[in-house]
Amino acid sequence: MATRTFAGGIHPPEYKEQTNSLPVEQIDLPQQVIIPLHQHTGAPCTPKVNVGESVTVGQVIGDSDAFISAPVHSSVAGHVVAIEPLPYFNNTRVLSVVIEVEGDQVWVPDQDPLDYRDINVEDIRQAVRQAGVVGLGGAAFPTHVKLTPPKNKPIDSVIINGCECEPYLTCDHRIMLERPQDVVLGANIARKAVGASKVYIGIETNKPDAIRVMQEVAGEEQDMEVVPLEVKYPEGAEKQLIKAVLDRRVPPGKLPSEVGALVQNVGTAVAIAEAVTLGKPLFERVLTVTGPCIAQPKNLKIRIGTPVSHVLEQCGGFSQTPRKVIMGGPMTGWAQSSLDVPVVKGTSGIVALPESMVSEAKWHNCVRCGKCVKACPMFLLPNFIGMYAEAHNYDKAEKFDVLDCFECGACAYVCPSRRPLVQFFRNAKAEIMARRRRA
Ligand code: SF4
Ligand code: SF4
């Protein structure tokens, strides 16, 4: 099979065999859900409910007037028992609505299914915004914003991202196998919203069944093509995917619209389809629960706000004591200090790793081997940026384009000195942005 790819990148072990053949299941609901009001890139939402109030499945419980934001909906029926800052997966605290689950938990649409071809572009964007759809690949960028490109940046190509290049995760793989028509429907709606002529569906060649199924469904559509891609990390990163599929390079600091492209994850495509045709809010998502410490690894459809501890219980708990529980994939995910945090819109997986797979080795000075430079898909110099960031020389780190780093972790993965490069870069970026805000 002919494949395309980008320059740089790495080949970590895939570890997908635990779950890639397991259909998506649903689990029992927890007694309480914890729904953070800031689960997306952009402005946080303010609460639209009060303590003691009853809520229904899909009811708006938080919203914002800001364009770059997305409303938050209740994922269950019940009553609000608290609204307070609670632990979030990235080790901060976020204002959250706690809902005691009670009553009928079925979401009932308040409209008959619509045909997107009868809906105008502005109404498509509104439906996506009202449903609170954000990128489900991890970044959680509000989707209605992506579907509203600047007027002077015409989009000719929509790329549906079915790479799922993170080790362990298989939820996007299962979505393509189980809901290919909805992926294609969401792709067509996104194509209409941005006025693009062509749709590409990029899938790594380690998912031949997904490539076959998507080719069958996409083959019935006009100007829609499945593109097999090399198995390489981070093939699914936006700029790398655009390079691999379209052979266009997004300039540093610019967005995909600069080169006429829009990228949406396969799960997001399904959420767009449900939002526009059914009016369904984003109150649940598919994720993978896996790793050597999980008793029964699964792909699950989970209500947003379900505590991680409840999800793990529903997977039989731990088969051995984990050293690390990660929300997201092992390359870009966040290690958790508590299992009380909730699943949010951007949670693509929960991965539990044993002691033997978690390196606690001390890190050392850079030995100037250059491996990180070769691995970096953004053509940065992680060795120099790392040294400057470690020395708190943030001006130099900025000069060496630390802000173009999207924290894929490829450099840290190959570093023989085990330097915590991504942590260095995160600190440097946070400090540079804080300085800019102060200025
Ligand atoms: S984490 Fe940043 S510097 Fe390192 S390889 Fe990825 S993009 Fe390059
Ligand atoms: S891989 Fe590590 S040791 Fe090698 S040049 Fe990069 S930072 Fe230095």
Q: State the helix-helix crossing angle for 266-278 and 180-194, rounded to 10 degrees.
A: 80
Give CA–CA dist 82/238, Å, rounded. 38
Nearest C-alpha to atom 5 of ligand 1 is from which residue?
376
Report the nearest atom of ligand 1 relative to the CA of 385: 3
- For 378-422, the pLDDT digits (tens) are 999 999 999 999 999 999 999 999 999 999 999 999 999 999 999
Instruction: Please identify every stretch of the chain with a pLDDT value under 70, giving residue numbers as ranges.
Output: 1-2
Q: Which of 332, 378, 418, 421 to mutate to test the pocket of ligand 1 (most atoms within 8 A of CB)?
A: 378
CA distance 91 to 386: 23
Q: Look at residue 252 in the predicted model and tell me its pLDDT.
A: 86
Q: Whose CA is nearest to atom 8 of ligand 2?
A: 366
Specify the residue with its C-alpha closest to ligand 1, atom 7. 405
Nearest alpha carbon, ligand 1 atom 8? 376
| pLDDT value of residue 2 | 66
CATH class of 116-278: alpha beta
Distance separating alpha carbons of residues 399 and 378, to the nearest angstrom: 15
Q: What ranges in 46-131 are assigned the alpha helix state H?
A: 121-130
Is the bond preceding residue 234 a cis peptide, omega within 30 degrees?
yes
Does residue 383 contact residue 368 with C-beta atoms inside 8 Å?
Answer: yes
Which DSSP letter does residue 16 get?
-
User: Each residue of 264-307: pLDDT tens digit?
Assistant: 999 999 999 999 999 999 999 999 999 999 999 999 999 999 99
Q: Dump pLDDT digits (tens) for 82-103.
A: 999 999 999 899 999 999 999 9
Please give the helix or strand (H or E) that residue 387 lies within, else none: helix 382-390
Residue 190 host element (H or E):
helix 180-194
The 8-class DSSP code of residue 200 comes to E
Helix (H, G, I), strand (E, B) or coil at 352: strand
Alpha helix (H) ranges present in 250-348? 266-278, 308-314
**At what angle are helices 266-278 and 121-130 packed, to 10 degrees?**
110
Residue 1 pLDDT: 61
Rounded distance, CA 202 to CA 187, Å? 12
Residue 264, judged by CB atoms within 10 A of its CB (0-12, 13-18, 19+), counts as buried
Report pTM. 0.95
- Write the residue with the smallest CA distance to atom 3 of ligand 2: 366
Ligand 2 atom closest to residue 371's alpha carbon, by position in its atom list:
1
What residue segments make up the domains of the chain, in order of their start? 116-278, 371-438
Pairing of strands 78-87, 198-204: unpaired
Helix (H) or strand (E) holding 32: strand 32-36
Q: Identify which of 422, 423, 427 to mutate to test ligand 1's pocket (most ligand atoms within 8 A of the CB).
A: 422
d(CA 138, CA 268): 10
